[in-house]
Amino acid sequence: MTVSDKTTNDIFCNAVEALKDPLPQRVWSVIVSLFGDIAQEEGDQISGVALTEVGRLMGIRSEAIRVALHRLRKDGWIESLRDGRSSMHKLTAAGRDASISATPKIYAREPVTTPGWYIICTDRDLHGDTGKTLFSAGIPLSRNSFLVAENKLPDTANMLVFRASPEHVPDWARSEICPDELQQAAVTLETSLQKASSYIAAPPGFDALQTTALRTLIVHRWRRIALRIPDAPVCFFPNTWRGEACQKLSSGLLNQLPAPNLHDLETAASGYRHRDLSV
């Protein structure tokens, strides 16, 4: 290994450590993030060897990758095909549809919100059809009140309806929109992304596997937050909300680490076992 290789490896390892999720890792979910990022198109396939090597670089054991793939096949996310002595894996049609539907929110560069909002109050039994409709259409603010986007307004007969243009939003309402756990997750992720950015300020020639590993960690950590952020007016978020900062940092890092093509990924994977690049 040359001095340059060692420097690149050190930078890579530091970035991986910065980006590792402090919470218990669901390997099947990490794999979903990986496929959604670089192999979302129909016909895109990734070999078991490549998945194993990318996982190893992220600190995931090969046994955990195999178990996760088994679960994803069982749940209808992944289809596996034999290719000689190895296997190729790809998203099913249902897996692609789910990934495509999540893509706009994960990769958006700016927060996306619906312009018109209403507050609906009702005294009806929320355990029946009314409750199902309101919980599906809106965001609960209290036991019988909901914040609902104008494009999701249900039949509001016998309900009290206000156009939402509040002069003041109390902390309890902000907490309903953005719970403490989601706020803390964003604070933690911002710190991780800032650390990773300091290491990847000038990408030192990462190969396709290293790039994929870093992108997967970034996408996965942000995805876990992005898909939980409600589409709500900015005034309903706490003043300490760091979601927008995470969005900008993740977008910036992904721009610095362009997604490799699958051919380069497989080529890199085929020779990786002969290199000392463990994390």
Predicted confidence (pLDDT) per residue in 105-150, tens digit = 999 887 767 778 888 888 766 666 777 778 888 888 888 888 888 8
Count of CB atoms situated within 10 Å of the CB of 191: 14
Q: How many Cα atoms occupy the beta-carbon half-sphere of 208 within 13 Å?
A: 17
pLDDT band for position 70 (cuts 50, 70, 90): very high
The answer to whether the CB of 225 falls within 8 A of the CB of 186 is: yes
Q: At what angle do helices 262-270 and 48-57 cross, to 10 degrees?
A: 80
SS3 (DSSP) at 47: strand
Q: How many Cα atoms occupy the beta-carbon half-sphere of 67 within 13 Å?
A: 7
Highest mean pLDDT: which range of 78-92, 103-117, 201-215, 245-259: 245-259
Average pLDDT, the chain: 88
